[in-house]
């Protein structure tokens, strides 16, 4: 495992251990657990959260991709970097009856927590898989919607992740992602720091580069919409964005 990937894995293993002991009604989330550099803020509806018995506190994301995805009963959805499983469980409810939600994560501690949350919620159409988002363990053209929440920025090879998302989508399939993007160039020293990489800052890329990667992978109509900006004086600026695209 590369140095960056190991820094990411160990940070989220540690956070999973803290989330395990979080009270059910906590709103802590990544702002308290992950430090101020994470672009959190999920905007989940209370009734949706109540339906799966989880609080927004388990979200380490930077938006709510399930809102973007317009999921329908019967669809198959895949969440890249599923963490504690919030977006997978919400998606599983939305694609029911007949649909299936998969979560993919590389961190054992997160997978254990996600499985625990699924069992507690009594959701039967959600499956959590171990693996890396740049090598998705699903067949070609097997998924209707790929979602992800604040994860693609953590990958060293974002183009490989986007190519994999495109490969597993069926023709007409949708990509609906919340992610951090670089709005003003970060200084070179910050770009190299492992802690800020794992904290969703240093691995961010500019919006134009994101769009170019989506187009190069074969996606159509890529849209990137920034919904919150975080300026770090002397370092640069990043923002939480919603990213949507379609496979032809």
Ligand X SMILES: C[S@@+](CC[C@H](N)C(=O)[O-])C[C@H]1O[C@@H](n2cnc3c(N)ncnc32)[C@H](O)[C@@H]1O
Which part of the chain contacts ligand X (CB under 6 A), choosing from 17-25, 92-100, 119-127, 146-154? Answer: 146-154
Which positions ≥6 away from 202 have C-beta within 8 Å? 186, 190, 191, 192, 193, 196
Measured from the CB of residue 65, what is the shortest distance to ligand X in angstroms? 8
Q: Is the dihedral of CA 28, 109, 40, 101 positive or negative?
A: negative
Specify the DSSP class assigned to residue 58. G
> Of the listed pieces 150-158, 168-176, 213-221, 239-247, which binds ligand X according to CB under 6 A?
150-158
Tell which one of 39, 41, 57, 61 touches ligand X (CB under 6 A): 61
Contact string (CB under 6 A) for ligand X, positions 168-207, x = contact: --------------------------------x-------
Tell whether the torsion through CA atoms of 33, 36, 38 and 42 is positive or negative: positive
Residues 207-236 close enough to bind ligand X by CB under 6 A: none
Residues numbered 124 to 143 that lie near ligand X (CB under 6 A) are 132-133
CB atoms within 10 A of CB 173: 24
Would you say the C-alpha torsion 25, 79, 197, 7 has a positive or negative sign?
positive
Stretch that binds ligand X, among 66-74, 106-114, 116-124, 230-238 (CB under 6 A): 106-114
Closest CB 61 distance from ligand X, rounded Å: 3
8 contributes a contact to ligand X by CB under 6 A:
yes
Site for ligand X in 63-92 (CB under 6 A): 81-84, 86-87
Torsion sign across C-alpha atoms 174, 180, 182, 188: negative
Q: Tell me if 106 contacts ligand X by CB under 6 A.
A: yes
Interacting residue with ligand X among 52, 155, 175, 181 (CB under 6 A): 155
Summarize the chain as % helix, strand, coil (round to 5): 40, 25, 35
How many residues bind ligand X (CB under 6 A)? The answer is 24
CB 178 to ligand X: min, Å: 8
Q: Counting Cβ atoms within 10 Å, is residue 221 exposed (0-12), middle (13-18) or buried (19+)?
A: exposed
* 12 sits near ligand X (criterion: CB under 6 A): yes
Please give the Cα distance from 76 to 143 (Å, whole number): 5
Rounded CA separation 68/64 (Å): 7
Using the rule CB under 6 A, is 151 a contact of ligand X? yes
Which residues form the interface with ligand X (CB under 6 A)? 8, 12, 59-61, 81-84, 86-87, 104-107, 110, 132-133, 149-151, 154-155, 200
């Amino acid at each position: 495992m590369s140095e960056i990937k190991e820094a990411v894995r160990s940070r989220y293993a540690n956070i999973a251990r803290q989330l395990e002991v979080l009270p059910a009604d906590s709103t802590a989330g990544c702002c308290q657990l992950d430090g101020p550099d994470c672009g959190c803020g999920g905007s989940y509806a209370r009734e949706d959260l109540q339906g799966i018995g989880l609080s927004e506190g388990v979200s380490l994301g930077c938006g709510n991709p399930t809102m973007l995805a317009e999921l329908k009963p019967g669809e198959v959805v895949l969440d890249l970097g599923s963490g504690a499983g919030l977006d997978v469980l919400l998606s599983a409810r939305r694609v029911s009856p007949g649909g299936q939600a998969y979560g993919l994560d590389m961190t054992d501690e997160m997978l254990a927590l996600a499985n625990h949350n699924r069992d507690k919620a009594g959701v039967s159409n959600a499956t959590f898989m171990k693996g890396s988002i740049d090598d998705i363990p699903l067949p070609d053209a097997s998924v209707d919607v790929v979602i992800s929440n604040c994860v693609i920025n953590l990958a060293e090879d974002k183009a490989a992740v986007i190519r994999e998302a495109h490969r597993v989508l069926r023709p007409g399939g949708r990509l609906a992602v919340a992610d951090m993007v670089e709005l003003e160039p970060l200084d070179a020293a910050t770009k190299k720091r492992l802690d800020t990489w794992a904290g969703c800052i240093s691995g961010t890329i500019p919006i134009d580069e994101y769009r170019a990667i989506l187009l190069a992978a074969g996606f159509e109509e890529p849209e990137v919409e920034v919904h919150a900006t975080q300026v770090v004086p002397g370092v640069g600026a990043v923002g939480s964005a919603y990213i949507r695209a379609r496979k032809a």
